[in-house]
Amino acid sequence: MTPRERRLAAASTLIGLLLALLLGEGVLRGYEAWQRERPPAAGAALALLRDNPRGTGSYRLEPNLDLATSVEGRPVTVRTNSHGMRSREVAQGKPAGINRVAFLGDSFTLGCWSSSSERSFVGVFEKSLSPRRWEVLNFGVGGFGLADEELLLQEEVVGFAPDYVVIVIFNGNDFRDTFLGRDKAKIVDGTAQLQDAVVRARVPASSLDPDTTLARLRPAGAWSRLALGRFLAPWLHAQPLAVDFAVNRNFTMFGYWSQFPYPPVALAARDATLATLARIEESLAAHGSRLALVTLPFMEQAYASELAGPGYDVAFPQVYVQTFARERNIPYLDLLPVFRAHVQAHNERLYLRKDIHLNDVGHRLAGEAIAAWFQSCVRRSATPAPDQP
């Protein structure tokens, strides 16, 4: 091959590579646009809920479910026992020599969308305890606020005689859901739909104005913006998980609860939440149960590039729960530092890409952190029963 032929061959190869990159970029951009237009994952429409059969308000998880779906290409199973818990079957009466831990919370505690109950953070927590001495009961129900959990405690949970009750408070909407009350949602086809009339009756119009402000992931580096880089970055954990946090002024949005200072309706929601927690603690103490509290961050808090900025502080709203717990000597765990440390060390996603919930990595991290805290703080802070190990 002559030098001229070699130059032509090299130029042809280079042109071919550039055309392939351009084609790949076009295909990937088309795929990304298609992904943005796709409907929510099928798992979000699972019929999991029913009206409270006692007729006293709120709603319950359906008993005896055995459902399968797929979330972001990963198989998910949802099975409930005869009591309507995403747990194995248990008798209501507590066996002799057994200590029980009951978890209460919303869809995160339920385990949406962990692959199975065993891979939810409650399931991971359960693996840390001896099955011969401990039972873990998952009373998590999607869409619950503390008002719903207070009713569930009265009507169901205390009948199982738990020694410990761990309430997991989601920072993104539990203050909102508690303030809106037990009639905030209507069950439609097995799903809870927030009622606009209830929201508008209880929240000033000024806090319901449309606001499209959202926290955004920071732009990827130059390599990650290329087609090949964007395809490989998630698998190589090369896509930075740094969020430019932003406050949303709409009461229903997660970013609303990290603003500072709080508007009057947010303060009213805070007060309603803490008052409900106080009643729950008093009720549990009367039944001989020990309350412990965990706060779970929403994604933008965990990925925020800065802890605080103009008009926001990601320590809110959980700082109010922390103060409440400290004043009442209630064991408390804030998962935000745990999540942020993991993201900063490993740049690994803890939440699903197109859903607010944790992925299996996030569930595992939360479950392991709660287990370590429970062993070192919660059990040691209580007076041991004679049959406790």
Q: Is the pLDDT of residue 86 over 80?
A: yes
pTM of the model: 0.85
Residue 47's Cα: distance from chain center in Å?
19
pLDDT tens for residues 281-310?
A: 999 999 999 999 999 999 999 999 999 999
Whether 313 maps to a domain, the answer reads yes
Whether 15 maps to a domain, the answer reads no
Q: Is the pLDDT of residue 249 over 70?
A: yes
pLDDT tens for residues 181-192?
A: 999 999 999 999
**What is the DSSP annotation of 244-266?**
E-----STTSGGGGGBSSPPHHH
Preceding amide of 261 cis, omega within 30: yes
Q: What is the CATH number of the domain that holds 184?
A: 3.40.50.1110
Domain residue limits at 230: 53-381
What sections of 59-170 are H helices per DSSP?
107-110, 121-126, 146-155
Whether 36 maps to a domain, the answer reads no
Whether 2 maps to a domain, the answer reads no
Whether 41 maps to a domain, the answer reads no
Whether 367 maps to a domain, the answer reads yes
Provide mean pLDDT across the span 112-127.
96
Residue 8 main-chain phi, psi, to 5 deg:
-65, -40
What sections of 143-226 are H helices per DSSP?
146-155, 174-180, 196-202, 222-225
Whether 342 maps to a domain, the answer reads yes
Quote the number of domains for the chain. 1
Compute the distance between CA of residue 43 and CA of residue 267 in angstroms, rounded to an integer: 34
pLDDT tens for residues 200-218?
A: 999 999 999 999 888 887 7
Q: Is the pLDDT of residue 23 over 70?
A: no
